[in-house]
Structure 1
């Protein structure tokens, strides 16, 4: 992500695998009832699920939605849910989701992280998401997850202090870009730490993309989904089933919008945005709901 608030638009990077295959590969299970303990010193024996969502406000289902993580502006008429970057302020009177880049470092910001918290390959080189020039954070051990979560939790605190209702941690799927150095178990263990903290601060927490882990959402403490291009890639149904239709959908093509609306237009919150998620007045700005 070039700057905070510029999204992973159109670059989902989601591994299209069957959930049971993920579970079997990671934990040796044939279903997703949960791991006996994650690898590399993960939180074996920890509480099996984080604080429930009973104490937080969930986004309204099938409500008008706008994705503004590229820059805040007055929400269009009919919008009830808005997602904005953590550096922005919430939109008054609406349900506000706070975008946080949690699993990777912003371009240039990797220098602000301790060197040992950046994922490195066997040659000692930092592993980078080439699409967005972002260094991956090393969530491969319990100790490192705790240290990284402490910093991300400060950002979550900022979201709560500003009055956001929920948080959207991006790059849950970074393990799919780690050249096999990180696993799905690492990702779920890390996001579970974030969900516990978000719930403790009264915030709901959304799963960003990563459809292959949607079946683990209760164990990870995730309350709703933020799905990019699930219409385009025929994934909306999996999110809808896992999250009881509490899904906000961003499509970046007209064909994706048509597909999402045709199948789920009466159930999910769907918007068509431009890839840069730009603001009105920009030559690239696109926002449509039909």
Structure 2
């Protein structure tokens, strides 16, 4: 069961960087397929055009309805409350029947204690060879500093995308896009955007829409990266909702974790975007500590 990745502190909004991935890099990169065939790294020789991970046209994916009832269930699934037509759930769960369901995947970091599930050289290490961890959630950061490593990480993440598509999810939510801000300057915003563009290619290849998760400072580049909508945590609490709206219009789905954040989000942007308050552990309905409020 994943832990929600709520950040205790936010960095000041930065000037968005240009996407540095060249067209050649993305053309060479190829996603793995549902039949289990492998994906070469971005530095591998190019295959035929039919093997390349070219993002499908926007019409090939179904976008979530704008300003619709939203629930965030990544800590465990339960029947969606009345009025909800969009739900986000962990990729280990099944989609909610009859409504638009987003598939949560931890794409830029490793679930706590799961380091052994990754090749050792794909865990980001500092100059002493020590693994770099997210200090708030004890999660190892993935090394996306080179095309070759990005390709290998994307292949594994795409395996989860395959599962999402096979189960019938409508979209994916790759978490920790902002992990470069916790990388001790070993990763850059350009590394994050280049890797995210690979995930866009993989998701669109399977007709899955893809969300930008947090990293509001990168939102101005969303069209260049290819992202379809945004899932934001605490954009009301930190007065960031308007910045997401500038980039994504009404296709923003906000999760607040405090009454203050909910009030700020609802008063400022409740007529334009989908907003829900959940408890910090995002526990299922009926569990101790369960909280859910909307505007």
Report if TM-score (shorter chain) is over 0.5. yes
Which of residues 144, 154, 167 is equivalent to 1:149?
154
Partner Cα separation in structure 2 for residue 15 and residue 169 of structure 1:
20
**Could you list the per-position Cα deviations for residues 176-220 of structure 1 after superposition, in whole angstroms to 9, with x for gaps in the alignment?**
000000000000000100110100100000000000000111111
State the Cα distance separating 1:44 from its structure 2 match: 6.5
Contact 1:173/1:209 (CA < 8 Å) preserved in 2? Answer: yes
Instruction: Indicate yes or no: 2:98 matched with 1:101.
Output: no
1:112 lines up with 2:112 in the alignment: no
CA displacement at 1:245 relative to structure 2: 1.1
Distance 2:213 2:9 in 1: 11
**8 Å Cα contact 2:250/2:273 also seen in 1:** yes
Matches within 5 A, 1:30-49: 34-35=18-19, 37=20, 43=22, 45-46=24-25
Match of 2:89 among 84, 91, 113: 84
Q: What SS does the corresponding residue of 1:66 show, helix, strand or coil?
A: strand
How far does the alpha carbon of each residue in 1:18-75 deviate from its partner, in whole angstroms, 9 at most, with x for none? 32xx42xxxxxxxxxx34x45xxxx464459944422100010000000000000000
- Residue 11 of structure 1, CA deviation: 1.7
Determine helix, strand or coil for the equivalent of 1:169: strand
Displacement of 1:282 after TM fit?
A: 1.8
Looking at structure 2, the residues matched to 7 and 18 of structure 1 have their Cα atoms a distance apart, in angstroms, of: 24
Superposed, 1:101-250 pairs within 5 Å as: 101-250=106-255
CA 1:151–1:181: 2 relative to 1, 3 Å: same
Relative to structure 1, is the Cα distance of residues 44 and 195 closer, same or farther in structure 2, using a 3 angstrom cutoff?
Answer: closer
Structure 1 spans left out of the alignment, 5+ residues? 24-33
Unaligned runs of 5+ in 2: 28-53
What is the match of residue 40 of structure 2?
none
Partner Cα distance (1:201, 1:266) in 2:
32
- Hey, what's the Cα distance between the residues in 2 that align with 1:134 and 1:273? 22
